[in-house]
């Protein structure tokens, strides 16, 4: 029976979205997976100057039996006014307070780059109790503060997350959904951060054996006391050029002030 049909971490709010395509792995199997991605987003986030983000995640994950363990380490470049955090989105700041810019009085975008926050994820797939029942995954995430908060690359605090993923096969189409909650740490620089919930819904459908497409809708509650909720939609195409390789491309459109106006990205994965 297929397992982990559509494994997808989605962080689409002005940050990064990485979706791994439909895979079939037998019970009690072991699998390694390496992936590299590239993501670009742009938006004004309610500010007079646009913020652009270049995000390059590198990840390794290991699946054994019902468990999937993953580490993700990204490189980030952000150009803007310091109002946007990667993996969060706009945080509603109207000035540069809390940062150490070269010219804090000028409404000019500055560019910072460096290593982003490292995320560790453990996902457990519940045993299936019926051939027609949905697959259910329980996920646990820890964000390690490896990004420099003084350069606006992170908050400098530990974050924790929990989520539930559901997948349901209907013919050749897989429907999926996620419900999760983020527990965010507060620092002196980012004391406005708040805990928040998120929901994602979508589907994936084959075009032919090696090609599929789908759409994800992503909703997230406000991530700070000064920001608002985000709504985004993300169509994607996945291609499997060889049994061990997967290439996915996507675009994303945000519909609120604190999400990116537009984003594009790609992810290449190799599994063995």
Cα distance between residue 53 and residue 78, in whole Å: 5
Is beta strand 118-125 parallel, antiparallel or unpaired with respect to 84-85?
unpaired
**Angle, CA of 82, 84 and 88, to the nearest 5°:** 145
* List of domains in the chain: 10-271 (2.40.160.40)
The 3-state secondary structure of 212-244, one letter per residue: EEEEEEEEECCCECCCCCEEEEEEEEEEEEECC
pLDDT in tens, the chain (272 residues): 334 433 333 343 333 333 443 344 444 578 999 999 999 999 998 888 899 999 999 999 999 999 999 999 999 999 988 888 887 888 876 544 444 444 444 556 789 999 999 999 999 999 988 888 899 999 999 999 999 998 889 999 999 999 999 999 999 999 999 999 999 998 888 888 999 999 999 999 999 999 999 999 999 999 999 899 999 999 999 999 999 999 999 999 999 999 999 999 999 999 99
Burial class (CB in 10 A: 0-12, 13-18, 19+), 118: middle
Q: What's the longest Cα–Cα distance across the chain?
A: 62
């Amino acid at each position: 029976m297929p397992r982990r049909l559509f494994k997808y971490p989605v962080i689409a709010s002005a940050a990064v979205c990485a979706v791994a395509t439909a895979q079939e792995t037998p019970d009690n199997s072991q699998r390694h997976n390496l992936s590299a991605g590239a993501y670009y987003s742009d938006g004004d986030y309610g500010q007079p100057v646009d913020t652009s983000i270049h995000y390059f995640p590198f990840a390794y994950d290991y699946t054994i039996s019902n468990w999937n363990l993953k580490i993700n380490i990204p490189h980030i470049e952000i150009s803007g006014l310091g109002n946007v955090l990667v993996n969060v989105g706009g945080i509603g700041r109207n000035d540069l307070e809390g940062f150490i810019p070269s010219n804090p009085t000028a409404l000019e975008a500055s560019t910072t780059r460096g290593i982003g926050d490292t995320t560790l994820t453990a996902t457990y797939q519940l045993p299936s109790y019926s051939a027609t029942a949905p697959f259910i995954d329980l996920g646990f995430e820890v964000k390690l503060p490896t990004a420099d908060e003084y350069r606006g690359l992170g908050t400098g605090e530990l974050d924790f997350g929990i989520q539930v993923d559901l997948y349901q096969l209907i013919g050749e189409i897989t429907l999926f959904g996620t419900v999760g909650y983020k527990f965010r740490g507060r620092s002196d620089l980012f004391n406005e951060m708040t805990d928040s919930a998120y929901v994602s819904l979508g589907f994936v459908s084959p075009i032919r054996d090696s090609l599929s497409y789908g759409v994800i809708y992503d909703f997230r509650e406000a991530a700070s006391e000064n920001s608002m909720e985000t709504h985004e939609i993300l169509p994607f195409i996945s291609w499997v050029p060889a049994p061990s390789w997967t290439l996915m491309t996507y675009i994303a459109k945000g519909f609120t002030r604190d999400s990116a106006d537009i984003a594009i990205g790609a992810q290449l994965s190799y599994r063995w």
